Amino acid sequence: MKNPRVGMFGLVFLFTCWMNAFTSDAKRTEHIPGIPPDVVASYIHSIIQADRTIYSSFIVNRLHENKILDANEAWEQTNSLLLPAQFLQKSGRLVAEHGTGIRFRLISLWPIYERNGPVTDFERKGLKAVENNPDQPYSGVIQSGKISFFQAIYADQAVTASCVNCHNTHPLSPKRNFKLNDVMGAIVITIPLPDK
């Protein structure tokens, strides 16, 4: 830079533009209306579903096919990979620890473990509804103490034979006649609603 004043002016100009970019962004977001909770739930569901698919196909299946490492329910004791269901439940617990109030888990009317069964009437109804109509999530507002939550229940289907085989042969499974594409359970997503 030949003239240091021009250089300085340039820097100040750039800095002002940079600051403006932030303040105008802040102003803009104030006018954006709230995103409806069913839309937020569908955003969260699409991410969970993508992670579930990527983990199952690109990690578990790939390492199995290449004879590198298998998934095993007793992954901690056997130095194996977590099952996809364990991956989902574990990430759900981690998200719950973050204190945002958002929760998700995998549930079923025929759970291998009772803790994965429905805990409310709403969840039981939702599981039945998505079993009959897997393309349509079941959702509504529930009350827990003084806090209202939006809850959405999305069908979890037997997309591969391994879902069916493992659940039909698991010693603790109460249902042993799952077929390919059956609804085996659901992903339930819970979002706290702001105070009115």
130 near ligand HEC (CB under 6 A)? no
Q: What is the 3-state secondary structure (H, E, C) of 34-52?
A: CCCHHHHHHHHHHHHHHHH
Sequence-separated (6 or more) residues with CB below 8 Å from residue 110: 167, 173, 174, 175, 184, 185
Query: Diameter of the chain by CA atoms?
Result: 81
- Structure tokens given for 64: 């199995």
- Structure tokens given for 72: 């095993």
137 near ligand HEC (CB under 6 A)? no
188 near ligand HEC (CB under 6 A)? no
CB of 168 to ligand HEC, least distance (A): 10
Cβ proximity to ligand HEC, 109 vs 193, nearer residue: 109
111 near ligand HEC (CB under 6 A)? yes
**Interface pick for ligand HEC out of 162, 168, 192, 193 (rule CB under 6 A):** 162
Of 16-55, which residues contact ligand HEC (CB under 6 A)? none
With contacts defined by CB under 6 A, name the span among 10-18, 26-34, 109-117, 128-136 that binds ligand HEC: 109-117
Sequence-separated (6 or more) residues with CB below 8 Å from residue 35: none
Contact 187, 45 (CB under 8 A): yes
CB of 95 to ligand HEC, least distance (A): 16
Binding track, positions 66-105, relative to ligand HEC; x by CB under 6 A: -------x---------xxxx--x----------------
163 near ligand HEC (CB under 6 A)? yes
Could you say which DSSP state residue 33 is in?
Answer: P
CA dist 95 → 88, 89, 115 (Å): 11, 10, 18
Return the ∠ at Cα 44 (arms to 88 and 72), rounded to 5°: 10
CB of 164 to ligand HEC, least distance (A): 8
Enumerate binding residues for ligand HEC (CB under 6 A): 73, 83-86, 89, 106-108, 111-113, 116, 156-160, 162-163, 166-167, 170, 184-185
